[in-house]
Amino acid sequence: MINETFLNHLKPVELEFIQAFIYKLTSDKITLDTTNSENIESTVSHCPHCGSFHFVKNGFNKKHRQKYLCRNCGKIFSDTTNTIFSHTRSHYHTWTTFIACELNQMTLEQEVVATGKSKTTCFHMRHKLYAAIGAHIRNTPLKGIVKIDSTFTGINLKGMKAKNMPRISKVRGKSKTDANHKHKRGINSHKVCIVTAIDEWDTMLFEIAGNGAESTEKYQKYVERFDKDCTIVSDGKQAILEFASNNQFQKDTIRPKPNQKNYTSRNGNSLGEVNQLHQEFKQMIKHYHGVSIRHLQHYLDWLVFRKQMKYQIKAEARKTKAYMLAMKGSVSFVTKDICSFELPIDVFTLYQN
């Protein structure tokens, strides 16, 4: 097996020979016509719809890929079903170019120029990519010292048709406060609460927990992501302290002193990484001119993934690494469903109250 130990024992001339051989091999195999199917395992182990192992071969599709028929649910599938390559004609080079654009936070208009695809196609590719990556980053537990807090953003109904809106469109600009609707202190219920947690290994939790102010119940939704022996670092909010106490987590609280700014706990921990992630989130919202609440979680997942890639992978290898992870991710929707995703919060009931 070729690994780092094996390569370290080779002589310089042998390494140079291997490098030249690999360069020639990649030039021959990776061309503009290279398809994504060449990177996927042709063998299928189970039905992607129901997970059954009872399936049979069922002819070939137009691309001469083997089709299968599940004896359990009766659905037909292939090796690309429920992947980012399902129902797409984009080749390998197009996908890697697109992923590189996404890693550099390019807009859809810029991606159209880079890939040669339409704006709609780039939009569909974006959400397939985000969904596939999101499946990977949500399974890792938070261990050790976990810094936790929440951030808030407004409910954005971008892309929703007027006939489906839960409220009338808002007028741009500032308006005078009505005497019957005076400004109240605290977090408005029309704000989206996003729970944030980062551990000492840079594993991150960044998910929509609901609307309104943070609460113990919002944090409790993600208790399974926390290791039982972790230490919760917070700024002393009651909801977080109750969450830690209810689950018997150790607490390390940052308590500010009167007339003195104190940004660290007794053990020297701070919320700097969490605050930085919140700042990057606000910059992302501004960069994309707002993100629809319908798709916000996908953007949060991609933001976390990009940040982790910067910590762990060299710049020149990020595109390939992202492609390999996305290739293995599960995408259970088709393009026509992207604009009809279920909303993470019930905005219709919210605006009626």
Give the strand pairing for 66-70 and 76-78.
antiparallel
Give the range with max mean pLDDT: 55-59, 219-223, 332-336: 219-223
* pLDDT for res 298: 95
Render pLDDT for 252-293 as a digit per residue (tens, 0 to 9): 998 876 666 668 888 889 999 999 999 999 999 999 999 999
Q: Is the pLDDT of residue 300 over 60?
A: yes
Coil, strand or helix at 269: coil
Cβ–Cβ < 8 Å for 271, 144: no
Render pLDDT for 94-117 as a digit per residue (tens, 0 to 9): 999 999 999 999 999 999 999 999
Structure tokens at 308: 């982790």
Coil, strand or helix at 36: helix
Spell out the domain ranges in the chain: 45-81, 145-159+187-322
CATH 3.30.420.10 matches 145-159+187-322: yes
Mean pLDDT for the chain?
Answer: 86
Closest CA to 271 of 199, 339, 340, 177: 199
Say how far apart CA 201 and CA 85 lie, in whole Å.
32
Q: Between 18 and 341, whose confidence is greater?
A: 341
* pLDDT for res 275: 94
Give the range with max mean pLDDT: 86-90, 164-168, 196-200: 196-200
CB under 8 Å to 190, separation ≥6 — which residues? 154, 155, 211, 350, 351
Phi and psi dihedrals of 151, rounded to 5? -130, 165
Say how far apart CA 33 and CA 35 lie, in whole Å.
6
Structure tokens at 23: 């360069």
Say how far apart CA 77 and CA 332 lie, in whole Å.
12
pTM: 0.84
Render pLDDT for 37-82 as a digit per residue (tens, 0 to 9): 666 666 778 888 888 888 898 888 777 778 889 989 988 888 888 8
Tokens 């600009």 correspond to what residue? 173
Q: Between 262 and 145, whose confidence is greater?
A: 145
Say how far apart CA 49 and CA 71 lie, in whole Å.
12
Other C-beta atoms closer than 10 Å to the C-beta of 237 total 18
